[in-house]
Structure 1
Amino acid sequence: MARGGFPGMGNNKNMMKQVQKLQKQMEEMQNQLKESVVEASSGGGVVTAKVNGEKEVLEIHIDKEVVDPDDVETLEDLILAAVNEAMRKVDDKSQEAYQKMTGGLNIPGMF
């Protein structure tokens, strides 16, 4: 038996420290993502949506010029497009942060 414990135990302790450090970094990153806000627009900026990192819609802004009671469908489409784009931006931001943290490793179940 090696002096000071079982053979290979030093490597396990070091690996556990690295895993704990990674877990802490991931928690911090997740908190930062939750607090982040992304914005997207449609129709040349006539409809704007703000979404936070938890994919909650925080704000919708609609320019008065696009409101036409005879064409509600177009307004609905513009709102959907802005919200969906904001949601995609949140996903992209999250994926980019995870890839940066993991160094591009493909860890199943991470995303």
Structure 2
Amino acid sequence: MKGMGNMGGMMKQMQKMQKKMMQAQDELHEMTFEASAGGGMVTVTANGKKEITDVQIKEEVVDPDDIDMLQDLILAATNDVIKQIEDKTNDTMGQFTKGLNMPGMF
């Protein structure tokens, strides 16, 4: 059965690729991402798991009469940091799915 040896080699390749994918994902999860809004008035930090780990707000942006602006800055910085994580994840993990038609994989 000649075809069976080829199947075994393909399985080894798949296992190797899976191990590399898991390693890449672990590395992504350990990364730190940061985004700011309002010229650095609000800075949001997150890890590669999309968990917000820190929010810094400069004192001068805290205006009780303009809470809406502060909320907008926080939203902008948070959305930016999440987009950075998604872009990096797609770039990193996309190398494993190039040429494969696997919708919704990541």
Please give the alpha-carbon distance, in whole angstroms, between the structure 1 residues aligned to 2:87 and 2:2.
44
How far does residue 59 in structure 1 lie from its aligned partner after superposition?
Answer: 0.3
String of CA shifts for 1:76-95, please: whole Å, max 9, x gaps.
11001101110111100100
Of the two, which has the highest radius of gyration?
Answer: 1
Figure out how many residues of one structure are paired with residues of the other and give that number.
106
Aligned to 2:63: 68
Q: Provide the rounded CA distance (Å) in 2 between the counterparts of 1:62 and 1:104.
A: 44
Q: Point out where structure 1 has 5 or more consecutive residues left out of the alignment.
A: 1-5
The one-letter amino acid of 1:55's match is: K
* Match runs of 1:75-90 below 5 Å: 75-90=70-85
Give the drift of 1:7: 2.5
In structure 2, the CA distance between the partners of 1:106 and 1:89, relative to structure 1 (3 Å rule), is farther
Mapped partners of 1:35, 1:49: distance in 2: 16
Structure 1 residue 45: Cα displacement: 1.2
- Which residues of structure 2 form unaligned runs of 5+? none
Give 3-state SS (helix, strand or coil) of 2:24's partner.
Answer: helix
Q: Which runs of 4+ in 1 moved over 4 A?
A: none
Shift of 1:104: 5.5
Residues 99 and 105 of structure 1 are in contact (CA less than 8 Å); yes or no, is this contact kept in structure 2? no
Match of 1:14 in 2: 9
TM-score by structure 2 length?
A: 0.93
In structure 1, C-alpha distance between the alignment counterparts of 2:27 and 2:89, rounded to whole Å = 10
Structure 1 residues 75 and 67 mapped into 2: Cα distance closer, same or farther (>3 Å)? same
Q: Work out the percentage of aligned pairs sharing the same amino acid.
A: 51
